[in-house]
A = this chain, B = another copy of it.
Amino acid sequence: MTRASSEAADSAAGSGAGAGAREFLARARRLVDARLDELVPAETCEPAAVHAAIRWSLLAGGKRLRPALVLAAGETFGAREEELLSTACAFEFVHTYSLVHDDLPAMDDDELRRGRPTCHVRFGEATAILAGDALQSLAFQTVAEDSALDAGTRVRVVAELARAAGTPAGMVAGQAYDLAAEARDGVTAAELESIHRHKTGALIAAAARCGALIARATARELEAVTKYAAQLGLLFQITDDLLDVTATADALGKTPGKDARAQKATSPSLHGLAAARARARAACDEACAALDALGRPAPVLRSLARLTLERRA
């Protein structure tokens, strides 16, 4: 176990989502932000507009949940930080590309993201489309060129990441389901769960799985981590929807109340605030229960679930 996760373990042992977990997240974010900066061409490198757009969207202070999950899951099973960092960044590249494309006028038509104008508002639609496309390529290039991993591991990570990003099982499918749901009246709870499972759940689950894969976790450990991450993804989406109802634009860095105005189906709109909160708690408990199948404590993964439940932004 590395320094970051053992500190988290010390602290989290007694306190649920304690200071140790927050420290782990802060450290993961520093490490990931530094590596992201290294992996992306400079703004002075041509084509400058595309690189500026990539940097605008990528380095705008995201939570880095997916990279943190790669690190947390990997360190839980004994992988070294250096083995995990490039894969962690690859997940952030894919996540950021999806935000850039989802914000486009033809998609969700969002103008504010992480407290700043969205990529296409700042750089124009063409450059935003290209920045997203390039980020996706960069994700796979980063894994394929990661000299900290053997070839077999790189191939497994590329395959996991690609399946989680694409269709029919991944993020693109989820965005398609989401757009289709918005275009018609009435979405069932099962449909909403399917949207979430594909749109955000697949990539979150793959992040945790890839961390564990890199650490050569056993099939049984991988299964437990997959269950954990599926619940964490659901939890993350429900808390996202709750924050859209309850938070301020300042705290969120994006326009709140947008779901309601768009009459978008969310956990709160479908089940009510109290029931949505109860579902979030249940998802957090199930995530932690899945970890019980591991023969080890996994305090950082537990704390990440608690922190997600308690998040305010």
Interface residues of A (CB under 8 A from B): 41, 45-47, 49-51, 54, 97-98, 101, 104, 106-107, 124-127, 129-130, 132-134, 136-138, 140-141, 143-145, 150-152, 154-156, 158-159, 161-163, 165-168, 170, 172-173, 175-177, 179-180
Contacts and interface: CB of A to CB of B under 8 A. Distances in A.
Contacts of A163: 137, 141
A129 to B, nearest CB: 6
A130 B41 contact: no
B129 A104 contact: yes
15 contacts: A41-B168, A47-B168, A50-B176, A101-B129, A104-B129, A106-B125, A126-B179, A130-B172, A133-B133, A133-B165, A133-B166, A136-B136, A138-B167, A140-B162, A141-B162
Contacts of A136: 133, 136-137
A109 to B, nearest CB: 10
A167 B50 contact: yes
A134 B71 CA distance: 26
B167 A47 contact: yes
Contacts of A144: 155-156, 158-159, 162
Given A133-B172, A134-B172, A126 B106 contact: yes
Given A47-B176, A151-B151, A158-B158, 11 more contacts: A46-B173, A47-B173, A49-B176, A104-B129, A133-B172, A134-B166, A137-B163, A137-B170, A141-B158, A150-B151, A154-B158
A63 to B, nearest CB: 22
Contacts of A41: 167-168
A145 B156 CA distance: 8
Nearest to A149: B155
